Amino acid sequence: MYSFSLLSKLSFSTVQEEVFQIRSKQPQIQEQKQVLRELSSFLDLTSLEGSDNQEKINKLCRKAIFMGEKGLPLPAAVCVYPPFIATAKKALQGTPIKVATTAAAFPSGQMPISIKLEEIRYALQEGADEIDVVISRGTFLEKDFNMVYREIDAMREITREKTLKVILETGELQTPENIAKASEIAIEAGADFIKTSTGKIQPAATEESVFIMLKVIHEFYTKTGKQIGIKAAGGIGDPEKALNYYWLVKEVLGVNWLTPSLFRLGASRLADRLLEIVL
C-alpha cells in the first residue's frame, strides 16, 4: 500500500479550518440555483428500512422517473435492500437509472467474510448494477488493517464488472487519521467509490469527514492518475447541505469530479426538496 503523507498532517482543528475556508468562498444561495438542478443527477435515491416492501420500492422508482418528467436530471441510481433488486430493475426498465444495493452485512459489517461474499453474489445474480459494501469497523479499530484490506479485495474480485462503493462509517472511526487510513485501504483494495456512512448512526456524513476523504482521493490521483469516486450519505436532507458537499468536491478535486460516475449523494428527502424548488 501507499504510505499516504496526509496521515501525519491531520487534526480536527485544521480540517475544520480548511472546510470553513472553502465554505466561505461559496456563492450566496440565491446565486446557486443553477447548481441545485444539477444535484438531482448525483442522487442515489434510497430506501433502506425494515418496513420496505414491493409497493414502497415501486413508489420510490416512480419518484425517480417523475423527477425527470418534471425537468430535473434523472437520479444516478435507486438504492434498495437485496430482496428488492428485481423489483427495482423491472420498475426502472428503459431508463438509464442504475439499481444499487447494500451488502456485506450492512449496516454493521459484523459477519464472516464467506457470508458477506454470498450476499454480494446474491445481489449480482438479482441484477444489481452497483454494490455498496461496509467495512468491519471493529476489525479496523483493532488495527487489523490487513484483514480489512483482504475483505475488500475479495469483494472487489467478485464485483469486477460492477461499481463497488465501500462504506467507511466515518462516525465510528473516531479520528481524522482513522478516516484517512480507512479511505486509503478501501482505495488500494479496489473501491470505485468511498462512501461516508450507512445513514444508520450519528454522526453520518459530515463536511469534515468528506473533506478528509477527498484529500486522500486527491493524493491517490496525484500519485497514480486514477480517479476514485466519493459518496456522501446520511442526514443530507436539505439543498443547502448538499451544496456544501458539491463545493467541497469542486474545490478539492475539481470540476472533472462533478459527474455521477465520480460523485454521489445518498438521500431521499433531498429529492423532495429539489422537486419543491422545480414545482
pLDDT of residue 187: 98
Question: How much helix, strand and coil, in percent to the nearest 5, is found in the chain?
Answer: 55, 15, 30
Q: Which structural domain range is residue 77 located in?
A: 5-278
Q: What is the pLDDT of residues 147-158, one digit of tens each?
A: 999 999 999 999
pLDDT of residue 123: 98
Q: Which 3 state secondary structure label does DSSP give 101?
A: strand
124: CATH: 3.20.20.70
pLDDT of residue 6: 61
Ranges of residues in the chain with a pLDDT under 50 are 2
The number of C-alpha atoms within 13 Å of 136 and in the hemisphere containing its C-beta is 20
Which residues participate in catalysis according to the annotation? Answer: 132, 195, 231
pLDDT of residue 13: 83
Q: What is the pLDDT of residues 16-60, one digit of tens each?
A: 888 888 888 777 655 677 888 899 999 999 999 999 999 999 999
pLDDT of residue 17: 87
Residue written as grid cell 444539477: 38
Q: Which 3 state secondary structure label does DSSP give 226?
A: coil
CB 229 within 8 A of CB 192: yes
Q: Where are the beta strands (DSSP E) in the chain?
A: 43-46, 77-80, 98-103, 130-134, 163-167, 193-195, 229-233, 263-267
Q: Which 3 state secondary structure label does DSSP give 43?
A: strand
pLDDT of residue 2: 47
The total domain count for the chain is 1
- pTM for the full predicted model: 0.94
